[in-house]
Amino acid sequence: MRRSRAEIALSIGVLGLGAGAAWVTARLPGEGGYAGIGPNFIPAVVSGGLLLMGAWLLWEALAGGWRNLAAPEADAEHPFNAAAFGWVSAGLFAHMALIGWAGFVLAGAALFAGVARGFGSPRPARDAALGFALSLAVFLFFVKLLNVNLPAGWLQPLLGGAGI
Amino acid sequence: METFNALLHGFSVALTPMNLMWGFIGVTVGTAVGVLPGVGPALTVAMLLPLTVKLDPTGALIMFAGIYYGAMFGGSTTTILLNTPGESASIATALEGNRMAKRGRAGPALATAAIGSFVAGSIATVLLTLLAPLVVELALKFGPAEYFALMVFAFTTVAAVLGSSTARGLASLFLGLLFGLVGIDGQTGAARFAFGVPELLDGIDVVVLAVGLFAVGEALYMAAYTSRLPGTLEKLSGSLMMSRDDWKRSWPAWLRATCIGFPFGTIPAGGAEIPTFLSYSVERKLSKHPEEFGHGAIEGVAGPEAANNASATGVLVPLLTLGIPTSATAAILLSAFQNYGIQPGPLLFQSQADLVWGLIASLYVGNVLLLVLNLPLVGIWVKVLAIPRPMLYGGILVFATLGAYSLHQSWVDLATLYVFGLLGFAMRRFDIPVAPAVIGLILGPLAETQFRRALSISQGDATVFLTQPISASFLAVTAALVIVPWLVRRYGRR
């Protein structure tokens, strides 16, 4: 019998989310006015739905695996590439950390380089340069032309403020 | 006649130079972004949504309509030349389209897709024009109970009836509904599921959810599972011209597909996936050359592509007249309206006639622009396809994060984006449908409002949903949709 640890974990995740939502719901106000139901009614329905679906999925996972999966063989053919996943994630985290103080352009360059590395590009310096050029173009277009507010960060002296 | 005058007035709005320009920008950007492999119409609209907040509503919505159409045109180019459908509705096109390209017939395949999309899109827009006022007429009689029942119907079909698994579909829907509850309750002002985080008090923005699920999740998935696979781009050799025989085989397929696609779009049936496959199998049955199917039969491209566009237009009927989105892309379009404080529905046709009819007229214009833009310029779009994948995904994520960050200028939105990315990765990997979550997030709060309103009017009497005839019939149809297939599965197999 096929039994996937990931499916069991995800099912328990849905159950846990439902339980957490129920815990929060129990602390919401319930007075209803004319309708007779308060702001806690629909949250209770949704929590119940999540608990029910979590239980259903868990039962499926334990009794032969989730039904009608589209591509359960993906694992065997292409094993999970943890390094690639890690590089893409690292790019996103670097972007998150940098954007506030180093600015949009430098954060974008780091993001671009990380993602490109994750997709197997062997030349990080070139990728960072490409990312820098792309982010700079995006920055100038949105900040100068469309007046969208984006942080210039360390490049403030070079880029100036909004507007041409 | 009244409709005709309204439409004529719509054209006077759509054809002003400014709005024509927004429409042109929309179809161009939509095509350019939609061509990118892995970027479907839903993601295209979501990424561009936060960047247009400063435009006037009519111009912006005309642009979004252009993006919506353009992304679908662009997607068919990718599907035919690269065999990587950007969305489930393109899978049927990929079956024959990519094989035609492999046999050196990429030109006619692209031509029949583009002209078919134009024909189907235009006919469907005429149907939309005629049908919308009738639905509005009916919808004006709807009260909160009817709306709530209709939304339950939409939730059920999208999550439970369609798709490979009821359990996974409903889990995705409840997840979306939970995300929709985050923030301040519109009726009492109580904060729900916000945990004191100021960014969460505003609620979860559909842009963050959609971009996280579609862009970040997709990038993580592609990097982790397929990054070392070389993609093969078919060459665009030979002429774009369709032979006399190609025309003869294409046009009946276009017309049949329009008849299949449009009705499927108007009912909450989860978008264009079913009609495209239906059209494919109809063409296969009716074809005089059934032996060519599987080796690049032109009807197999003409039909599904036309069905896809016709149903995309059909989706606009419930969206504009009832305010009910029936696909992930429509849910994001609805939030584009909400950004401007506009709630689509029957009243919109009266209070904002300029906007609605201008938008509908711009669909006619957009179809013509797309035909002009796609056929002669297809060579440019093919160059976009040649971008190596590391650069492509790097660029996509730069734009994706830009959209999320510009909402509050806060890294919290970027962290939320990553969490949704992980979720999207897991959903993609374990075949959990994404559309119910997106629709749940947008439609959930609206459904809750209607539910509580209905109960307020009835003084808390919950039988109101069953004693009103329209509401009761919606709920009865919903129950039948769930129970009948189950009974058939259980007792029909003797």
ipTM score of complex: 0.91
Return all residues near B276 (Cβ < 8 A) that are at least 6 apart: B89, B90, B91, B92, B93, B261, B304, B307, B308, B311
B111 CA to centre of own chain: 23
Give the C-alpha separation, A118 to A107, whole Å. 17
Handedness of CA B130, B314, B297, B371 (dihedral sign): positive
Domain that holds residue A55: 5-77
B397, B40 in Cβ contact below 8 A? no
Return the amino acid letter for B155. Answer: F
Q: What is the pLDDT of residue A164?
A: 42
Q: Does B409 touch chain A (CB under 8 A)?
A: yes
* A36, A67, A96: residue with CB nearest B411: A96
Q: What is the pLDDT of residues B384-416, one digit of tens each?
A: 888 888 898 999 999 889 888 888 888 888 999
Task: Calculate helix-pair angle for B91-102, B57-82, nearest 10 degrees.
Answer: 50
Distance of CA B179 to the CA centre of its chain: 20
Which residue of B155, B430, B443 to mutate against A (max A Cβ within 10 Å)?
Answer: B430
Confidence of residue B493 (pLDDT cuts 50, 70, 90): low
Q: What's the mean per-residue pLDDT of chain B?
A: 86
Average pLDDT over residues B307-324: 91
Q: Do A29 and A90 belong to one domain?
A: no
- Count of domains observed in chain A: 2
Q: Smallest Cβ distance to B414: which of A96, A127, A135?
A: A96
- Verify that A95 and A143 share a domain, yes or no: yes
pLDDT at B57: 86
* Digit-coded pLDDT (tens) for B440-462: 999 999 999 999 999 988 888 88
Which token pair is A55? 């239980």
Q: Which residues in chain A have their CB less than 8 angstroms from residue B228's CB?
A: 78, 81, 120
- Residue in B with minimal Cα distance to A20: B193
The average pLDDT across B372-389 equals 81
**Confidence grade of residue B418 (pLDDT, cut at 50, 70, 90):** very high
Domain boundary residue among A46, A77, A108? A77
Tell me how far apart the alpha carbons of residues B170 and B165 are, in angstroms, rounded to a whole number. 9
Looking at chain B, which residue has its C-alpha nearest residue A55? B167
pLDDT digits (tens, 9 = 90+) for B26-68: 999 888 888 888 788 888 888 888 767 677 888 888 998 899 8
pLDDT of residue A77: 59
For the full predicted model, state whether its pTM sits above 0.90: no
Of B267, B259, B370, B367, residue with least CA distance to B327:
B267
Q: Is A70 in the same domain as A131? A: no
Q: Is residue A27 situated within a structural domain? A: yes
Give the model's pLDDT for residue A162: 47
Residues A155 and A87 in one domain: yes
Do residues B3 and B350 touch, judged by C-beta distance below 8 A? Answer: no
Average the pLDDT over B203-208 and give the result. Answer: 88
Neighbour count for residue B205 (Cβ, 10 Å): 23
CA distance B459 to chain A (A): 5
Number of residues that make up chain A: 164
- In this structure, the answer to whether residues A87 and A131 fall within a common structural domain is yes
Chain B hits for A41, Cβ within 8 Å = 452
Nearest to A35 among B165, B228, B456 (CB): B456
- A residues 13..72 contacting B (CB < 8 A): 14, 17-18, 21, 24, 28-29, 32-39, 41-43, 46-47, 49-50, 53-54, 56-57, 60, 66-71
Alpha-carbon distance of B159 to A111, in angstroms, equals 35
Of A22, A50, A77, which residue constitutes the final position of a domain?
Answer: A77
How much is the pLDDT for A72?
47
| SS3 state of residue A61 | helix
pLDDT (0 to 100) of residue A126: 94
The angle formed by the CA atoms of residues B85, B89 and B95, to the nearest 5 degrees, is 55
The letter for the amino acid at B229 is L
Q: How buried is A72 (Cβ within 10 angstroms: 0-12 exposed, 13-18 middle, 19+ buried)?
A: middle
Alpha-helix residue ranges (DSSP H) falling in B15-56: 17-35, 41-48
The pLDDT value recorded for residue B196 is: 81
Helix/strand/coil for B273:
helix
Based on the fold, state whether residues A47 and A23 are members of the same structural domain: yes
Alpha-carbon gap: B34 to the closest alpha carbon of chain A (Å): 18
- N- to C-terminal Cα separation, chain A: 66
Position B360, amino acid: I
**B398/A contact by beta carbon, under 8 A:** yes
Residue B425: the pLDDT is: 93
Same domain, A87 and A115: yes
**Whether B184 contacts chain A with CB within 8 A:** no
Report the chain B residue with the minimal C-alpha distance to residue A56: B167
Q: Indicate if the pLDDT at residue B292 is higher than 90.
A: no
Cα separation, B284 vs B300, in Å, equals 7
CB spacing of A84 vs B223 below 8 angstroms: yes
Q: Are A41 and A86 in the same domain? A: no
Least confident stretch, A136-150, B343-357, B420-434, B468-482: A136-150
Which residue do the tokens 């093969």 mark? B232
Domain membership of residue A94 (yes or no) is yes
H or E element that contains B1: none
| Residues A113 and A151 grouped into a single domain | yes
Model confidence band, residue B74 (pLDDT cutoffs 50, 70, 90): confident
Residues A56 and A97 in one domain: no
Report yes or no on A125 lying in a domain: yes
Intra-chain end-to-end CA distance of chain B, in Å: 55
* Residue B184, SS3 per DSSP: strand
- Check residue A163 and give its pLDDT: 43
Q: Is A82 on the interface with B (CB under 8 A)?
A: yes
pLDDT value at position B207? 86
| CB-based contact, B489 to chain A, within 8 Å | no
Nearest-angstrom CA–CA distance, B380 and B316: 30
Which residues does chain A have within 8 Å of residue B399's beta carbon, measured at their own beta carbons? Answer: 138
Same-domain status, A29 and A54? yes
Contact B395 A135 (CB under 8 A): no
Question: Which residue among A44, A62, A77 closes a domain?
Answer: A77
Verify that A73 and A86 share a domain, yes or no. no
- Using the predicted structure, report yes or no on whether residue B249 has a pLDDT greater than 80: yes
Among B115-124, B215-224, B380-389, which is the least confidently predicted range? B380-389
What is the structure's pLDDT at A45? 94
The predicted pLDDT at position B364 comes to: 93
| Model confidence band, residue B270 (pLDDT cutoffs 50, 70, 90) | low
Asked if B75 and B87 count as a contact pair (C-beta separation under 8 A), the reply is yes
Structural domain includes residue A164: no
Q: What pLDDT is recorded for position B460?
A: 80
Nearest to B170 by CA among B435, B428, B487: B435
Contact between B344 and B337 under an 8 Å Cβ cutoff? The reply is yes
pLDDT class for B18, splitting at 50, 70, 90? confident
B415-439 as b/e: b if 16+ CB within 10 A = ebbbebbebbbbbbbbbbbbbbbbb
Q: Would you call B46 helix, strand, or coil by DSSP?
A: helix
Q: Quick one: pLDDT band at residue B321, thresholds 50, 70, 90?
A: very high
Nearest CA distance, B263 vs chain A (angstrom)? 27
Other residues' Cβ atoms within 10 Å of the Cβ of residue A153: 17
Give residue B228's pLDDT. Answer: 57
Compute the average pLDDT of residues B16-27.
90
pLDDT over 90 at B423, yes or no: yes
Where chain A has pLDDT below 70, the residues are 1-3, 32, 70-78, 160-164
